[in-house]
Structure 1
Amino acid sequence: MAFPDVTPFPDTPTGSIGNAFYFVVLVAAGATFLLLLLRLKSYRLILIFTGFALTVVSFTLSTLYLSAALLLLNTSSLEAPLLGSALIACLVCYAVFREQRKFLNSIVVFLGGATGAFLGWIIPTLSAILILCFMAAYDIFTVYYGPVGKIAREGIERFSGLVFSFEDFQMGLGDLTFYSMLSCHMLFNLGAFSCIASIIGILAGCLLSFKTLERRGIFPGLPFPLSLGLLFGFLVSLI
């Protein structure tokens, strides 16, 4: 089964930097577009964009995972993955447009985990490390000075399909995606112990972020978890 290439440059030192910039530009462009819609008060368009994006992503990922599962079972079927993926995509679309918030929280968690696992599997190690580092650095900028921070202050409740919400706490789909990408890359490339260590690092980083969030009201979700996850994972791989 052939997987699509999500990095435009080869996994060389220079190419990996290009791949990291590529991801930052994609995320920055998406956040800027959403902020523009929010400033224009295009709430219906925000809902349509969110529904379309989540439906496409859920259909694509479901097709990949269901096809891979059938291959593992030595079963060849084109119709079953497509039908299953279409059903899942319809449920996601319904949840978004009917604004089923509890269901949307589950969708955010599963989509973040599934997207991150796919990226962790398909992206080479050097590019993966630099993407995570660049995203952590960009997260600091965008939360305090860029579009993500402005969205959080002006109307985060309008993006329920892209944010995991619990009481007064919100975590973006991107945060969950990159947590999953880190831990799954460790699992696929460095083994189970490095994966477990990276998960411990991510959880420790999340705890530090939550404590800081209580004092500041807004805080980037990537720097502490990704830094500690990378550190713990690679330290264990050296043992």
Structure 2
Amino acid sequence: MSEGDFRAGLIHLTPVLASIIVGVFCAYLLGVSPIELYSVTPFSEDPAGSFGNALYFVVLVGVGASILFFLLRRRREKLIIMIIGFSLATAAFLLSFIYLFAALMLFGFSFIEILIPISALLTVLVSFIIFKIGGKAGNFVVILLGGALGAFLGACVPTLSAVLILCFLAVYDAFAVYRGPVGKIAREGLEKFRGLSFSFRDIHMGLGDLTFYSMLVGHMLFYFGFLPCLASVAGVLSGCFLAFKMLEKGGVFPGLPFPIVFGLVFGFLVVWLLGWLTV
């Protein structure tokens, strides 16, 4: 996240909260639907495998950011738009298909053949809004995508891997903002990466921030229930507000460390308290 001169207020939490609400709704849909979900991590859930899963995600994020920064320095804006457009279109299609399928399964419908054209239509609509209309409408779609993608990851990544992935990404984010490609991209101008970032009242945030916030709270709801999820939401929002306050000093500030740490601590503290009370 980045900005120059501004004063942080609770109003700045609005897009984060909106994305989290979308993520909670999507996680709830996946939880109550009979749809069968599969792990999206390449390695097993033992400690060594979970460590490998975390490294895998960090490498993916790091390589992706480095490629975009390299292309930006080479002034390959059209190629950047093509890569981002393809990635977002793929994500929009898959997420549309999965959530529509989950909804159909929930209500007992079996018209699966209609999902592909509907998902394709939604993908075209999402792409048109982001890359042609832009503005507030584009920002709104990015917020929806962040919540939906995060909830899917939260439901499809086992707990130990999810915790390590989030922690590793928080550490990487702190490094990448100050020493790596993320901070350099932010200084070059996030507006050049339409679809991967959004702006709200003088604050610029990345789609990845919203995705991993929703991954955290969605995982809490999917695996541990409502109260741990609610606690993690409070933690994420508290961490975001603290990060926004740090932005008052100017420059850029990593969007993941405070929200992820607070969200995990608050959420698992409630998990522990609930377990202790039921003993």
Once the two structures are superposed, the pairs formed by residues 128-207 of structure 1 within 5 Å of their partners are: 128-207=162-241
Identical aligned residues as a percent: 56
Give 5+ residue unaligned stretches, structure 1: none
Preserved CA contact (<8 Å) 2:177 2:183: yes
Q: Secondary structure at the match of 1:161?
A: coil
**CA–CA separation in structure 2 for the residues paired with 1:5 and 1:197:** 25
Amino acid across the alignment from 1:144: Y
**CA–CA separation in structure 1 for the residues paired with 2:209 and 2:67:** 18
**CA–CA separation in structure 2 for the residues paired with 1:5 and 1:238:** 25
Amino acid across the alignment from 1:9: F
> Relative contact order, CA 8 A, sep 6+: which one is greater?
2
Q: Secondary structure at the match of 1:215?
A: coil
**CA–CA separation in structure 2 for the residues paired with 1:145 and 1:99:** 34
Match of residue 104 from structure 1: 138
**CA–CA separation in structure 2 for the residues paired with 1:40 and 1:208:** 35
Q: Secondary structure at the match of 1:30?
A: helix
Amino acid across the alignment from 1:47: I
Q: Secondary structure at the match of 1:75?
A: coil
Q: TM-score, normalised by structure 2?
A: 0.83
Match of residue 18 from structure 1: 52
2:109 to 46, 71, 75: 75
1:58 to 92, 96, 100: 92
1:180 Cα deviation after fit = 0.3
Q: Secondary structure at the match of 2:42?
A: coil
Preserved CA contact (<8 Å) 2:131 2:138: no
Match of residue 231 from structure 1: 265
**CA–CA separation in structure 1 for the residues paired with 2:150 and 2:131:** 25
**CA–CA separation in structure 2 for the residues paired with 1:106 and 1:49:** 21
**CA–CA separation in structure 2 for the residues paired with 1:107 and 1:34:** 21
Preserved CA contact (<8 Å) 2:232 2:262: yes
Query: CA deviation digits over 1:125-181, x for unaligned, max 9?
Result: 000000010000000000000000000001211012110212421110000001000
**CA–CA separation in structure 2 for the residues paired with 1:2 and 1:202:** 28
Aligned length: 239
**CA–CA separation in structure 2 for the residues paired with 1:136 and 1:221:** 8
1:4 Cα deviation after fit = 4.6
**CA–CA separation in structure 1 for the residues paired with 2:163 and 2:112:** 35
Q: Secondary structure at the match of 1:8?
A: coil
**CA–CA separation in structure 2 for the residues paired with 1:99 and 1:218:** 27
Query: CA deviation digits over 1:19-50, x for unaligned, max 9?
Result: 00000000001101110111011111112222
Q: TM-score, normalised by structure 1?
A: 0.97
Preserved CA contact (<8 Å) 1:139 1:221: yes
1:99 Cα deviation after fit = 4.7
**CA–CA separation in structure 1 for the residues paired with 2:93 and 2:43:** 26
Q: Secondary structure at the match of 1:165?
A: strand
Preserved CA contact (<8 Å) 1:52 1:93: no
